[in-house]
Every structure is written in structure tokens, then in C-alpha cells.
Amino acid sequence: MRWLLQRSLRDVVTTVHLVHGIHTEPDSPVKGLIPYLRTAGFIVRYPEYGYELAVETLYLNPIIEGVMMPYVEPGDILIGHSNGCAISYHMMQQGAPAIGAVFINGALEQTLKRPIGCAFIDVYYNPGDEVTEIAKIGGEFGIFDDDWGELGHGGYIGNDGLIENFNCGATPGMPVVSGHSDFFTPSKLAQWGPFLAKRLAALTDSS
């Protein structure tokens, strides 16, 4: 299966889109992934959609998605953090031709379904992420984006073998991550960044 996936992606995946979360000013920590992804052979785009409040996601996310979608080309990968995971997920549901996605501490439902055309989704989570627990409550009450949930706290729940969980709070040989953005703490990102980038390179044979 992995060999077939690599063959189907080879010479197609070249661009990664980093989609940040809310409360981003002036920069999102997700930009810390850029050097690791470039070293692994990817072109990186960072679409800056500005500062957004949680209560604005219900009506602003669809606007942001509409602006970003035309820039996603066949074979691209979407990497989201927090609300950026919801934005990325919505775009793929609406037909954005990304071949794969990475969700880091996603403010997204745990029972997500892999969109048509998406070959893989990697989910990075940790039990110390309390922010996405709140996101789930807001999503259920219709205060925030409808698809918000606690993916970042508890990981993916389902049977799709092409959606893979990485518990960053308990991965042998890796720094313990605890919190909504602790993945991007420089000392921890120094190991998690190459881990993520090398895994994507192996999936896509982009290196």
C-alpha cells in the first residue's frame, strides 16, 4: 500500500500550504515548520489571513476558504494548526485537490472523514490540549465553526487506516508536547519538525 501511494504521488506533490489558526498576530508559530519542510524538498506557501476571533470563525472561515481554494493545486499538501485544520478540511470537502493533509492540534471533529482525492491525513495531538476541548463545546452550540471539535486533544476516532494519529504527549524518543501550541516550542520543534517533514517526504517521495 505504501509503495503504491508513493508511486501515485511521485513528481506530483511539491507544494505545502501552511494554514494558521486564530489569534495570530503578528506571526503564527506554524511558520516554524518552513525550514524543515524546505530541507525535505517541499515548496512552502504561507497564506496569511490575519487576526480572527473564535466567534468570527462561523462566518469568516467560509470567506477565507473561498479566497484560498484557487491557490491549491493538484498534488499539494495542506498543513493546518488549530482553526487552520478546519479551514483545510473544509477546502478539501469542497473539492480543493490536495493529495494529503496534516492536522496539528486541530480544532476539528474527531470523527472526520477523509475527503475524496485525499490520500492521507496525519493527526498530531496531545492530551494536554485544553483549547480544543473548549472548541468542541463552542462548535456543538453553534457559537464557533460547526466542525470544531477536540481533535487536538484526543486525536482521530475512526477506522480509516489512511488517517494516522501521533500522540505527541507519548511518542517514544520524542519530546513530550502538552498544550495547544507546545508542538512549536523551539526546543521541541527541533525534533518534531524534522519528524513531520521526513514523514511527508517518505509518503510523497519528494526528497
pLDDT tens across the length of the chain (207 residues): 343 444 344 455 479 999 876 655 566 788 899 999 999 999 998 876 665 555 455 556 666 766 678 889 999 999 999 888 999 999 999 899 999 999 999 988 999 999 999 999 999 999 999 877 665 545 553 545 567 788 999 999 999 999 999 999 999 999 999 998 999 999 999 999 999 999 999 998 743
On whether residue 4 sits in a domain, the answer given is: no
Indicate if the alpha-carbon torsion angle 130, 135, 138, 143 is positive or negative.
Answer: positive
Q: What is the pLDDT of residue 132?
A: 75
Take residue 32 and report the three cell numbers written for it: 516554524
User: What are the strands of the beta sheet with 163-167, ordered from one edge?
Assistant: 43-45, 15-19, 77-81, 100-104, 120-125, 163-167
Contacts of 59 (CB under 8 A, 6+ apart): none
How far apart are the C-alpha atoms of 130 and 150, rounded to whole Å? 8
3-state SS, residue 16: strand
On whether residue 6 sits in a domain, the answer given is: no
On whether residue 5 sits in a domain, the answer given is: no
Q: What is the pLDDT of residue 14?
A: 75
**Contact at 8 Å (CB) between 163 and 123?**
yes
How far apart are the C-alpha atoms of 165 and 102, rounded to whole Å? 10
Please name the residue ranges forming H helices in 34-130: 34-39, 57-68, 83-93
How far apart are the C-alpha atoms of 84 and 196, rounded to whole Å? 17
How far apart are the C-alpha atoms of 120 and 203, rounded to whole Å? 9
User: Where residue 49 sits, what CATH number does that domain have?
Assistant: 3.40.50.1820
How far apart are the C-alpha atoms of 144 and 82, rounded to whole Å? 13
Task: State the total domains in the chain.
Answer: 1
Q: What is the pLDDT of residues 110-163, one digit of tens each?
A: 999 999 999 999 999 999 998 776 655 455 535 455 677 889 999 999 999 999
Q: What is the pLDDT of residue 118?
A: 96
Q: What is the pTM of this model?
A: 0.85
On whether residue 7 sits in a domain, the answer given is: no
**Letter for the amino acid at 45?**
R
Angle at 151 between CA 57 and CA 127, to 5 degrees: 125
Domain that holds residue 95: 12-201
On whether residue 59 sits in a domain, the answer given is: yes
On whether residue 98 sits in a domain, the answer given is: yes
On whether residue 39 sits in a domain, the answer given is: yes
On whether residue 128 sits in a domain, the answer given is: yes
